Amino acid sequence: MLRSSLSRVSVISRRFFSTQAPAAAQSGSSGTLAGAVVGLASGALAFKLWSEAQVAPVPVVDFQAVRNDIAALLDDDNYDDGSFGPVFVRLAWHAAGTFDKQNKTGGPKGATMRFHPECEHGANAGLHVARERLQTVKDKHPGLSYADLWSLSGVVAIEEMGGPKTPWKAGRADNSKPDTVPPTPQDRLPDASQGASHLRDVFGRMGFDDREIVALSGAHALGRCHTDRSGFKGPWTRAPTTFSNEYYRELIENKWTKKKWDGPEQFEDPSGDLMMLPTDMELIHDKGFRQWTELYAKDEVAFFKDFAAAFDKLQTLGV
């Protein structure tokens, strides 16, 4: 694309600088004056078009190098469970999860979480950590959009933590103005305290069905909740930096009871080490969701396949 653009610029420049002004009229001084005026006009037009063609080309982005740079940022013994991977996945998910298929607003393009009020929305609490961590990659690759960077960071993190490869293509441009933040972003991401109908409303607005909802929920195999971010506390699995079907196995095979504490309603296993959110419990209580939860608990290959497809769909909403 860059090569063809440069070729087009050179053609424009040659064409207008090689065009000759019309010959002056042969009779009288008025013809000479008219010819001069035409010549000046042609020269002015040529200079204008030449000037516009000299815009610096957008730097070419080496996305393999970007992938490598993201991967190099993942491991850190001083952060959470030793990896920024889970928070990168959460950033990619929350940046994309604001999409509304009816009015085509929100979604992974635009990178509007850089602006208020989206960056301050409670569901996005703590994601400044991921955005700041990834800034070094953006600085190193000036032609890279934030929207592509955030999206790719989730894809790379999943792969590096043992998950499936997600088809990914660049092309998410950044919005430059705060007024492009989607309307009511606080209503567009899942509320962990809600039930099955809420999940279907939120994911349905993006165009996902029950199977895709359950598949995307499998990302809860990663990371943990923090009281200073979501209000909830604890990991879903005992391997929070490994992408697997363990989340579904814990849901199906473990025993879950309401946690007795001063925080919001959540559930815990008999050891008290693991937790589930009310929306997680809907995956085993709701008949439509449970069939897919049981499948993924038994078949990790099926889960990986469906997750990769659903996550790819999430990262291309509205693009």
Give catalytic residue positions.
94, 236
Tell how far CA 89 is from the center of its chain.
9
Q: Which residues contact 210 (CB under 8 A, 6 or more apart)?
A: 200, 288, 289, 292
Token duo for residue 8: 């087009």
- The C-alpha atoms of residue 87 and residue 147 are separated, in whole angstroms, by 16
For 314, the 3-state DSSP assignment is: helix
DSSP 142-203: TT--HHHHHHHHHHHHHHHTT-PPPP-----PBP-SGGGSPSSGGGSS--TT--HHHHHHHH
Cβ–Cβ under 8 Å, residues 85 and 222: yes
Under a CB-based contact definition with an 8 Å cutoff, are residues 55 and 13 in contact? no
Task: Name the helix (H) or strand (E) containing 63.
Answer: helix 63-72
Phi-psi region of 166 (alpha: psi -120 to 50; beta: other; left: phi over 0): beta
- CA separation for the pair 39, 217 (Å, rounded): 68
Q: Which residues pair with 224 in a beta bridge?
A: 235
What sign has the CA pseudo-torsion 273, 162, 127, 214?
A: negative
- Residue 138 Ramachandran class (φ > 0 left, ψ -120 to 50 alpha, else beta): alpha
* Distance in angstroms (rounded) separating the CA atoms of residues 135 and 244: 28
